[in-house]
Structure 1
């Protein structure tokens, strides 16, 4: 909830894809990662994180990949460096290190020491879980690792991906997570996008054991007092999936880098919150968008390039993110409005090919920018999940949230 509530705030966070490598071969992977995929010196990322300063640095650093925990010492070092700069850290993992043979029912899993230290250094840990990951890592093995982490008080979440609201797998797995963890662990549910291996792969959902008929129809056993009962979400027709973003199998951001929900006529205003957080790609190139087609391709469109982690510092990147007239207009009106383009042209495609001068920085434009930002902030984490995620699962980001004021 807290992380997603920050999503519309420019430069509130930075995403860092510290490797493109991954030992898993999930058929839906947005990055097309392989064990021998590209990987650049850790010093590039470490140097950039070293420029964060308390009060002016990002509030959150999100470590993704590929599989970031293939570089556990780098992940730990980045988390510790970010903390000295006043930032908190989140790690998103595909859980390759979970035991291939699940522990006995209800058991916990041993986590390799270097990986355990990296997770411990981060403030939040999120596991990717979907039908395609389950072909590589058993669900119960993932649950066993998460049980071990939850038992010692780690802040956790799941990034769950499916083919759309009508996907029966989403009903199955979200109900299983709620039962297993007593509604204490939130979920961000997104949709697979046609990016990376998923662009050409046939993504029929693998067969999985079905849950009992009552699954998901009652509050999970062990749920905190006052937890409301919820029925399993209905299955409306699936809308088209958005393009997936940078991240382990597109998870953090299958709900973060596609176009927002909505339709309109030519030139409709449809603000983009994805032009808010800088994203450091595998080679250190920093973009204003985490959409995988932006992160992967060179050259990066000029209006979306913010710099390079090997040469620029955070203050420079932050200033470019905040002051760019085109980025400010994208966050306020969206690319269709800027280009005067019809919706069928494609929201993200229109942005990548955008070639227009920035609108004049008038008082009215500044007023609109504040209004759009504040409307999105008012929607909070659930509002963001509803707009970019997979309804009707948006409420699951609030599970376990203490609903109290805090310093984040």
Structure 2
């Protein structure tokens, strides 16, 4: 819940996809990762983390992939480097090593401040649920801060009802869950239609009756993302992270050449990114009916509006409204709405029983 509460804050965190390799072949994989997928020298990521300072650092580094724990020494080193500046680290894993925790992986998990396990019907074809639970029980007994990342086809998916209920019983509501939906990216794009949720009514391509594109702020343009090759983008959309060249307005630099201070400054001061976070790409582009939200953003070729006092006020207002919703509000808007409250499980600030 604390991590998600930071999501609207520009440059509050940075995501690092430290490898594209993964030993699993889940049918919904957003990155399309394989055992032989690309991987770049760890020095690129280590160099970038080494530019964090106590006075200028992200609050959080989230290590992802592929499968980040295929590089346990790098994951541990990044967590230890980040900690020296006061930055906390989270690792998201597909749990390929379950039910046992090899010593090198245990060291990486121990060095991180938070550990999250991916679990869904597709992962369970590769790693049994009972094996994932065995690892999480062992880590919980050691006092580790934990969460589950769950994915399903939508609010009515029976798998989500089953797995969330079992996690609550098994761990006595001590481990929070972020529940999301399968997106049409990576292998899921080419997979069977049954993998994907039905389109939601009133989606981002809708325009108002006046023909003017609605203002739909993009919270995802807030956290820089270090891709597999070290390229740093302004959002974690997989089509942006994977494809080269990156659209100019979404490229923040490279981990092998730029430091955190430079990347943070670009994230905070870019007129286009500020407008995306305030109005969203549809309004910024004046998109016609039927245009997709992220597709419109990737193809933007517009001059951002001037940064006037009124624009600065609106920017702060939008950010404050998003912050007011906290982590639960973010999970409800961008995850699977009926399950949004599950991110508060185990949190001392939870206000009510679920």
TM-score bracket for this pair, using the shorter chain length = over 0.9
CA RMSD in angstroms, aligned pairs only: 1.5
Residue in 2 that maps onto 1:201: 191
Check whether the contact 2:206–2:213 (CA below 8 A) recurs between aligned residues: no
**Equivalent pairs, count:** 345
**What is the DSSP-based 3-state SS (H/G/I as helix, E as strand, rest coil) of the residue aligned with 2:63?**
strand
Task: Write the mapping of 1:84-99 to structure 2, written as runs, cut at 5 A.
Answer: 84-99=84-99
Normalised to the residue count of structure 1, the TM-score between the two structures is 0.82
Check whether the contact 2:206–2:290 (CA below 8 A) recurs between aligned residues: no
Check whether the contact 1:73–1:114 (CA below 8 A) recurs between aligned residues: yes
Work out which of the residue numbers 172, 176, 183 in structure 2 matches 1:186. 176
Q: Which stretches of structure 1, 4 residues or more, deviate above 6 A after TM superposition?
A: 259-262
Task: List alignment gaps of at least 5 residues for structure 1.
Answer: 100-109, 206-237, 242-258
Residue in 2 that maps onto 1:306: 252
Alignment partner of 1:327 is 2:317: no
> Aligned partners of 2:295 and 2:336: how far apart in 1?
21
Alignment partner of 1:401 is 2:350: no
* Structure 1 residues 290-333: Cα deviation after superposition (integer angstroms, max 9, x where no partner): 00000000000000000000000000000000000000000000
Residue in 2 that maps onto 1:64: 64
More helix by share: 2
> Aligned partners of 1:12 and 1:48: how far apart in 2?
16
* Structure 1 residues 231-271: Cα deviation after superposition (integer angstroms, max 9, x where no partner): xxxxxxx6527xxxxxxxxxxxxxxxxx9879542321000
**What is the DSSP-based 3-state SS (H/G/I as helix, E as strand, rest coil) of the residue aligned with 1:159?**
strand
Work out which of the residue numbers 230, 240, 245 in structure 2 matches 1:284. 230
Residue in 1 that maps onto 2:285: 339
> Aligned partners of 1:202 and 1:306: how far apart in 2?
35
Check whether the contact 1:189–1:390 (CA below 8 A) recurs between aligned residues: yes
Task: Write the mapping of 1:214-253 to structure 2, written as runs, cut at 5 A.
Answer: 239-240=198-199
> Aligned partners of 1:380 and 1:145: how far apart in 2?
29
Check whether the contact 2:218–2:280 (CA below 8 A) recurs between aligned residues: yes
> Aligned partners of 2:289 and 2:323: how far apart in 1?
25
Normalised to the residue count of structure 2, the TM-score between the two structures is 0.95
Check whether the contact 2:204–2:293 (CA below 8 A) recurs between aligned residues: no
* Structure 1 residues 17-65: Cα deviation after superposition (integer angstroms, max 9, x where no partner): 0000000000111101000100000000000000001131000000000
Alpha-carbon shift at residue 203 of structure 1 (Å)? 6.0
Check whether the contact 1:19–1:68 (CA below 8 A) recurs between aligned residues: yes
Check whether the contact 2:118–2:149 (CA below 8 A) recurs between aligned residues: yes
> Aligned partners of 1:393 and 1:261: how far apart in 2?
21
> Aligned partners of 2:283 and 2:257: how far apart in 1?
34
Check whether the contact 1:284–1:309 (CA below 8 A) recurs between aligned residues: yes
Work out which of the residue numbers 295, 303, 308 in structure 2 matches 1:362. 308
Work out which of the residue numbers 134, 137, 140 in structure 2 matches 1:144. 134
Residue in 2 that maps onto 1:14: 14
Check whether the contact 2:9–2:319 (CA below 8 A) recurs between aligned residues: yes
> Aligned partners of 1:260 and 1:54: how far apart in 2?
41
**What is the DSSP-based 3-state SS (H/G/I as helix, E as strand, rest coil) of the residue aligned with 1:322?**
helix
> Aligned partners of 2:56 and 2:203: how far apart in 1?
29
Residue in 2 that maps onto 1:53: 53
Check whether the contact 1:262–1:270 (CA below 8 A) recurs between aligned residues: no
Check whether the contact 1:336–1:343 (CA below 8 A) recurs between aligned residues: no
Check whether the contact 1:5–1:380 (CA below 8 A) recurs between aligned residues: yes
**What is the DSSP-based 3-state SS (H/G/I as helix, E as strand, rest coil) of the residue aligned with 2:338?**
coil
> Aligned partners of 1:340 and 1:79: how far apart in 2?
42
Check whether the contact 1:127–1:157 (CA below 8 A) recurs between aligned residues: yes
Alpha-carbon shift at residue 155 of structure 1 (Å)? 0.3
Alignment partner of 1:82 is 2:72: no
Check whether the contact 1:17–1:65 (CA below 8 A) recurs between aligned residues: yes
> Aligned partners of 2:193 and 2:45: how far apart in 1?
34
Task: List alignment gaps of at least 5 residues for structure 2.
Answer: none
Q: More deviation in 335-344 or 346-355? A: 335-344
